[in-house]
Amino acid sequence: MDNRQNQVNINWYPGHMAKTKKEISEMINLIDIIYEVVDSRMPLSSKIVDIDELIKNKPRIIIFTKYDLCDEKETDKFVSYYESLGFKVICCDLINNKNVINKILLESNAILKDMNAKRIAKGMKPRSIRALVIGVPNVGKSTLINRLVGRKAANIGDKPGVTKTLSWIRINKDIELLDSPGILWPKIENQKHAYNLASLSSIKEEIVDNEALSIHILKTMYDLYPERLKERYGIENIDLDDIVPTLDIIATKRGALLKGGEKDYDKVYSIIIRDLKDGLLGKITFDRIDEINHSSV
């Protein structure tokens, strides 16, 4: 077993995405406000890299979902950063926090007022605002739509792009929402971001194997939250050039053994991946704000 992480190159941009992007940019003129959904545990890795170019200057609210699962101290640095650029940012636990929808509607109303003031100044009638939810897979778009709509909205598909026949759901007298989200896959130039996405979303299987993924998780945890590895697995140090002893510790501790006492590494990989996903490694944020200086966000 070797360190394959550096050898497995994730190329994560399905061919149909160029078409999807075109579809979204064509219908963007119908939209007054964008709800851009980002995962609080990876505000950079889960962000659509070229969203500015795609949606131009449309009013946008950035919604940081899964805030309940993140390391608030680190994620808040991203919130401040985007606020400093003039964006509205709302952090939320979409599963448990009932208040978040009111917050989103309140911010949307401010944008609506602005829009209608301009329309009236031009001699046009005021009208309701049209909203689109957009984001990469698994960040919580469907959950957000369901929460906004207040029931399980029909036909919320996970197909990329937007449906051909646009169908609007009225949320209140002022706001209509497109019933399916704009789904964009990240065009990932940064392999670390690719691995973060694979670690924290459910779309990893076809992209990268469990070995590479769990090694990424161990290395990242060791770098950012070493004390959690100690708490959970009793691991004090990791030799980054030889991860096998670390895997052996986990195998022994968690009884991942084959008949005859051989270590069951496949089981170890599954344990690591599941522990992270189930929050057993604590609240984590895998991106760091200082990366922004080195990337084109």
Ligand X SMILES: Nc1nc2c(ncn2[C@@H]2O[C@H](COP(=O)(O)OP(=O)(O)O)[C@@H](O)[C@H]2O)c(=O)[nH]1
Binding site residues, ligand X, CB under 6 A: 65-66, 68-69, 92-95, 135, 137-143, 158
203 binds, among Mg ion, ligand X, none (CB under 5 to 8 A by kind): none
**Long-range contacts from 149-153, C-beta under 8 angstroms, 24+ separation:** 149/177, 153/179
Count of positions (residues) in the chain: 297
Site for Mg ion in 143-162 (CB under 5 A): 158
Least gap, CB of 53 to Mg ion (angstroms): 24
Part of the chain binding Mg ion (CB under 5 A), chosen from 12-20, 140-148, 213-221, 225-233? 140-148
Q: Taking CB under 5 A as the rule, does residue 138 contact Mg ion?
A: no
Least gap, CB of 141 to ligand X (angstroms): 3
Nearer to ligand X, 25 or 143 (CB): 143
Query: What's 46's DSSP letter?
Result: T
Nearer to ligand X, 230 or 274 (CB): 274
Site string for Mg ion, 72-91 (x = CB under 5 A): --------------------
DSSP state string for 191-256: HHHHHHHHHHSS--TTTS-HHHHHHHHHHHHHHH-HHHHHHHH------TT--HHHHHHHHHHTT-
137 binds, among ligand X, Mg ion, none (CB under 5 to 8 A by kind): ligand X
Residue 63: strand pairing partners: 37, 90
Least gap, CB of 138 to Mg ion (angstroms): 8
Least gap, CB of 133 to ligand X (angstroms): 8
Least gap, CB of 115 to ligand X (angstroms): 26
Nearer to ligand X, 90 or 115 (CB): 90
Number of H helices, E strands in the chain: 10, 7
Burial state string for 50-61 with b = 16 or more CB within 10 A and e = fewer than 16: ebeebbeebbbb
Least gap, CB of 69 to ligand X (angstroms): 5
SS3 content of the chain, % helix, strand, coil (to 5): 45, 10, 45
266 binds, among ligand X, Mg ion, none (CB under 5 to 8 A by kind): none
Nearer to ligand X, 69 or 111 (CB): 69
135 binds, among Mg ion, ligand X, none (CB under 5 to 8 A by kind): ligand X
Whose tokens are 């053994």? That residue is: 257
65 binds, among ligand X, Mg ion, none (CB under 5 to 8 A by kind): ligand X
Q: Is-contact 45 193, C-beta < 8 A?
A: yes
Q: How many residues bind Mg ion (CB under 5 A)?
A: 2
The residue of the chain with the least Cβ separation from Mg ion equals 142
Whose tokens are 């369901």? That residue is: 146
Give whole-number Cα distances, 9 to 105, 114, 192, in Å: 41, 46, 10
List of residues contacting Mg ion (CB under 5 A) = 142, 158
